[in-house]
């Protein structure tokens, strides 16, 4: 089964509790991709998970390091985490651009999937800034250079619009999502699903490898419980990862 490197889907929360005159603080660490990781592992995939804050020490810093994987998944973590390791940001020491290494990995036959979120694609206030990185050329979508969130608080049901083994036999309409990132589809890519008239699932090729974009989330808040409980959830990600790894479906 494919060897998958999943990066992101974690965060720290620092909260101020103001109670009249007095205030105190609490901190919390959360990993949001548990259902997604469980879905891949339940289908037999060899999954390595790297939380966002461990990118500098655990994501490969050489092309050879990526040879241990068949596909890379980046979810809800911005480009700064790939381009500004501590030695570069803090001590002005040159270091490899991990976004470029992922692009090269795809060019050499690997697969990459970007999943949406507040720090995916361009992201909230354009802070994710993936469109300004070398990896942008490998993705099957073009990112806008601004805040790209499309909030859908009333919910919108995704619809399958393309013909491809990835979506063959899946429901034509999926449980509602609550938001996504705005992108446009590259001319040589394939649009497989839309949500509220926006691209949701897009696949393509780059070099000798494959790439995909899923512009909504794999967990709340954009992916509500009904989507996570959907019978097709594990099937969709299983197929997508296998396809990215070059397997026939």
pLDDT in tens, the chain (249 residues): 899 999 999 999 999 999 999 999 999 999 999 999 999 999 999 999 999 999 999 999 999 999 999 999 999 999 999 999 999 999 999 999 999 999 999 999 999 999 999 999 999 999 999 999 999 999 999 999 999 999 999 999 999 999 999 999 999 999 999 999 999 999 999 999 999 999 999 999 999 999 999 999 999 999 999 999 999 999 999 999 999 999 878
Using alpha carbons, list the distances in angstroms from residue 104 to 31, 62, 73, 121, 243.
Answer: 28, 10, 15, 18, 18
CA dihedral 55, 60, 66, 70 (to 10 degrees): -20
Residue 242 confidence (pLDDT): 98
- What is the crossing angle of helices 34-42 and 233-244, to 10°? 70
| Domains present along the chain, CATH in parentheses | 3-244 (3.40.50.880)
Number of other residues whose CB lies within 10 A of the CB of residue 32: 19
User: Which DSSP symbol is given to 162?
Assistant: S
pTM more than 0.85: yes
CA 218 to chain centroid, in Å, comes to 8
Name, in order, each residue with C-beta under 8 angstroms of 186's C-beta and a sequence gap of 6 or more: 140, 141, 142, 202, 204
Residue 69 confidence (pLDDT): 98
**What stretch of H or E contains 217?**
none
* 83: its two tokens: 């381009």
Helix/strand/coil for 15: strand
CA 196/CA 209 separation, integer angstroms: 29
CA atoms within 13 A on the CB side of 133: 28
Number of other residues whose CB lies within 10 A of the CB of residue 54: 13
Phi-psi region of 234 (alpha: psi -120 to 50; beta: other; left: phi over 0): alpha
């Amino acid at each position: 089964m494919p060897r998958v490197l999943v990066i992101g889907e974690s965060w720290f929360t620092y909260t101020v509790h103001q109670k009249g005159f007095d205030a105190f603080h609490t901190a919390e660490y959360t990993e949001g991709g548990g259902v997604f990781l469980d879905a891949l592992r339940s289908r037999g995939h060899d999954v390595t998970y790297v939380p966002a804050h461990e990118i500098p020490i655990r994501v490969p810093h050489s092309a050879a390091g990526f040879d241990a994987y068949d596909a890379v998944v980046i979810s809800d973590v911005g480009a700064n985490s790939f381009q500004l390791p501590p030695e570069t940001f803090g001590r002005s020491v040159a270091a490899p651009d991990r976004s470029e290494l992922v692009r090269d990995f795809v060019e050499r036959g690997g697969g990459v999937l970007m999943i949406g979120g507040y720090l995916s694609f361009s992201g909230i206030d354009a802070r994710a800034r993936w469109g300004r990185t070398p990896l942008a050329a490998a993705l099957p979508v073009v990112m806008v250079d601004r805040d790209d969130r499309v909030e859908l608080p009333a919910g919108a049901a995704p619809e399958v619009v393309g013909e491809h083994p990835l979506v063959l036999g899946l429901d034509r309409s999926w449980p509602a999502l609550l938001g996504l990132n705005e992108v446009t589809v590259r001319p040589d890519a394939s649009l497989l699903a839309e949500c509220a008239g926006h691209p949701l699932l897009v696949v393509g090729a780059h070099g000798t490898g494959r790439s995909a974009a899923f512009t909504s989330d794999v967990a709340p808040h954009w992916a509500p419980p009904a989507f996570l409980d959907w019978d097709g959830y594990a099937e969709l990600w299983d197929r997508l990862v296998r396809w990215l790894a070059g397997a026939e479906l």
